[in-house]
Structure 1
Amino acid sequence: MVEEGAPRPSRNPVAAIDCGTNTVKLLIGSMPEVAVREMRMVRLGEGVDTTGLLSAEALARCFAAIDEYAALIAEHGVPRDRIRFCATSATRDAANADVFAAGVQERLGVRPEVIAGHEEAALAFDGAVRNLRTPAEPPVLVVDIGGGSTELVLGTHAPEASISLDIGSVRLHERHLRDDPPTAEQVAACAADVDAALDAAEAAGVELGRAATVVGVAGTCTTIAAGCLDLPAYDREAIDQAVVPVSDTHAFIDRVVAAPVAERLRMPFMHPGRADVIDAGAVILDRVLRRTSVYSWTVSESDILDGIAWSVASRST
């Protein structure tokens, strides 16, 4: 019997953890039902672009979040073979990733999978496209802007062309946007870095101009959508599936990039852990949209985390 107030065990529950450069996220549920969805801003990739190492402080922040997640996973009765922990950009780049892996193993009993960029892209596409409430005109371009990397995936029901680019909100903010607010010269250098990466994406077959539908996922896109919608607070239900005009998006991006961090923090939908690096993420979204011919884009609250959960749920039980 489940005590009143205690979590009710799900049928064949899964636990998915997505550990990126800026955030670590948890989903628990029996897909498509979701019992728990949590996010912690841990900035695991802080300084990795410069040092090539995960710092002791960043590891401590991440491990504290994983300790909380381990307790939630135990409360919901998720067996170890139904837990999948995927680590992305920061741990791909870090020379001391073994320290991180050992800490995760100690806390959860599973090894983190440092997934390759192409798998990261496929999981992000699956999570986003499954969530669309109305059929999207193909081809669909999924844009997943993370802290250390950006995934671009073009396809219909499955990825047809994808790439993981070493541009992300934390990485490019640390590299270029050092003043508060950034100077015009710094923003131009950041945009040039993004454009060079997008040139490489196009050369690799991810033709952004072919996209008939653009779906943006993850925190940079959802926060920018909240700004375009002028929400009085971050509202997941209002943001999910919103269709945002591209012209409004460019206007809000100009505003948020030009604003000092203190002003961004006063925006009621802005997470404090994202306020300093949203400028670089916004530049990435701006440059991507300028290469498409769409007049609006759709924002999805389902992303790679949901893709990870579905990958576990689809295993034979």
Structure 2
Amino acid sequence: MPETPGAPERRDARSPSGRDATLHAALDLGTNNCRLLVARPAREGFRVVDSFSRIVRLGEGLSRTGRLDPAAMDRAYDALAICAERLGRREVPPDRVRAVATQACRAAENGLAFVERVAKGTGLKLRIIDPSEEARLSVAGCANLFDPRAEAVVVIDVGGGSTEISWLVRGAAGLATVAWVSVPLGVVSLAERLPEPDDGSAAWYAGMVDEMAAALSAPAEAVELRPLFEQGRAHLIGTSGAITSLAGIHLRLPRYNRDRVDGLWMTRGECDAAIERLRLMGRQGRAADPCIGPDRADLVLAGAAILDAVQRGWPSERVRVADRGLREGLLLEAMRRPRRRRRRWSGRSQPTT
């Protein structure tokens, strides 16, 4: 998380109601996960005081039916009810809760109806954000992982139903986004499109990489950056549960450890070796691995294939793993903007740092 270990926290500020007015919360309901962060501003960034994450697979079957499945909605609703209970227990002021929903609710015919059900039943007011805002927030959440020497960076935010990719170039004011795309393939949709065969063959994995590469139509501004990557003057940043799981496999962790994964640099060769190890483990082996588990066993290779496809288009020897992203971007934006000047972003422009 964008927090500074050892930095002194600001003094608690209590509102007349007794609530801790320094607390902020960010909730991200994605196609695969429901995640909550509650944090307090620190000298730089913030300090997390509570967090929650649950795989809900809200978008399960969405690519086939165009609708959210009743069982999937129930799973997501139950997770959101837990989030609402935690926010109530922490007494986070309602005007400091930023709750968003992404691809599954965007794409589903009944996505808005589900959001209304959540508001009525839990009090949580989810805002369905568009892909441009999702990309912008992911970049903001990862910004302090950019190598200050890099001339360009690609941020890959792999979701359950879509992947947002942002290209940044260094200018006089630092790194700024010059192009972005949202590809309608994520770990859930790609895994459903190309289910894993019993033998987990290399040809099947290569097919997922090809599927993502074919779906990725990059703007001219992005294509022009390829030489910077080929010359070692740029790097990639990958943010998703699949990519952090890949890092855990590379490190051979006995259990997932965010402190060792977040900010980890991996070479292209290390990524390839970890991917091959994942494939050879098979679904049962991945389910038993403490860095993956049964909920991600059938999805993690789809995430690896998405990263692989982007690496082939923008070859870089260095990939930085980010256990952070959209939620952190929401929190940083909320904490940095004076409340009286805070306005909803229109989504009409491309994301910038």
- Residue equivalent to 2:148: 135
Does residue 19 of structure 1 match 2:29?
yes
- Residue equivalent to 1:146: 159
**Is the CA contact (8 Å cut-off) linking 2:239 and 2:324 kept in structure 1?**
yes
Picking from 258, 269, 273, the partner of 2:295 is 273
Picking from 178, 198, 205, the partner of 1:160 is 178
- Residue equivalent to 1:54: 68
Picking from 169, 172, 181, the partner of 2:187 is 169
**C-alpha distance in 2, partners of 1:70/1:142?**
31
The AA in structure 1 aligned to 2:332 is W
Picking from 103, 106, 124, the partner of 1:89 is 103
In the superposition, relative to structure 1, how do residues 73 and 206 fare at CA in structure 2: closer, same or farther (>3 Å)? farther
Structure-to-structure mapping, 1:106-125, within 5 angstroms: 106-125=120-139
Give the drift of 1:203: 4.7
**C-alpha distance in 2, partners of 1:203/1:94?**
31
| TM norm structure 2 | 0.81
Aligned residues: 309
**C-alpha distance in 1, partners of 2:101/2:307?**
23
The AA in structure 2 aligned to 1:54 is L
User: Runs ≥4 in structure 1, deviation > 6 angstroms?
Assistant: none
**C-alpha distance in 2, partners of 1:148/1:166?**
6
Q: Sequence identity, in percent? A: 34
- Residue equivalent to 2:349: none
The AA in structure 2 aligned to 1:48 is L
Q: Note the alpha carbon deviations across 1:256-298, whole angstroms, 9 max, x for none.
A: 1343210112223113211111121111111211222321211
In the superposition, relative to structure 1, how do residues 188 and 295 fare at CA in structure 2: closer, same or farther (>3 Å)? closer
The AA in structure 2 aligned to 1:298 is R
Structure-to-structure mapping, 1:155-304, within 5 angstroms: 155=168, 156=170, 157-198=175-216, 200-203=217-220, 205=222, 209=226, 210-211=228-229, 212-304=234-326
The AA in structure 2 aligned to 1:128 is C
- Residue equivalent to 1:3: none
**C-alpha distance in 2, partners of 1:185/1:98?**
39
| TM norm structure 1 | 0.90
**Is the CA contact (8 Å cut-off) linking 1:208 and 1:288 kept in structure 2?**
no
**Is the CA contact (8 Å cut-off) linking 1:89 and 1:148 kept in structure 2?**
yes
**C-alpha distance in 1, partners of 2:103/2:123?**
22
Give the drift of 1:221: 1.1
Give the drift of 1:202: 4.4
**Is the CA contact (8 Å cut-off) linking 1:153 and 1:206 kept in structure 2?**
no
**C-alpha distance in 2, partners of 1:303/1:232?**
25
Structure-to-structure mapping, 1:71-86, within 5 angstroms: 71-86=85-100
- Residue equivalent to 2:12: none
Residue aligned with 2:53, SS: strand
Stretch moving more, 283-292 or 46-55: 283-292
In the superposition, relative to structure 1, how do residues 206 and 301 fare at CA in structure 2: closer, same or farther (>3 Å)? farther
The AA in structure 2 aligned to 1:72 is R
**C-alpha distance in 2, partners of 1:67/1:48?**
22
Q: Note the alpha carbon deviations across 1:178-221, whole angstroms, 9 max, x for none.
A: 423444443343222111122x0245746562450211112111
In the superposition, relative to structure 1, how do residues 78 and 307 fare at CA in structure 2: closer, same or farther (>3 Å)? same
**C-alpha distance in 2, partners of 1:258/1:224?**
13
**C-alpha distance in 2, partners of 1:237/1:185?**
35
Q: Which structure has the greater CA radius of gyration?
A: 2
Residue aligned with 2:218, SS: helix
Give the drift of 1:11: 4.3
**C-alpha distance in 2, partners of 1:168/1:118?**
16
The AA in structure 2 aligned to 1:27 is L
In the superposition, relative to structure 1, how do residues 121 and 133 fare at CA in structure 2: closer, same or farther (>3 Å)? closer
Residue aligned with 1:259, SS: helix
Structure 1 gaps of 5+ residues are 1-7
Give the drift of 1:106: 2.0
**C-alpha distance in 1, partners of 2:59/2:309?**
23
The AA in structure 1 aligned to 2:195 is L
Coordinate RMSD, CA, aligned: 2.2
The AA in structure 2 aligned to 1:176 is L
In the superposition, relative to structure 1, how do residues 188 and 309 fare at CA in structure 2: closer, same or farther (>3 Å)? same
**C-alpha distance in 1, partners of 2:254/2:48?**
26
**Is the CA contact (8 Å cut-off) linking 1:201 and 1:207 kept in structure 2?**
no
The AA in structure 2 aligned to 1:235 is N
The AA in structure 2 aligned to 1:273 is D
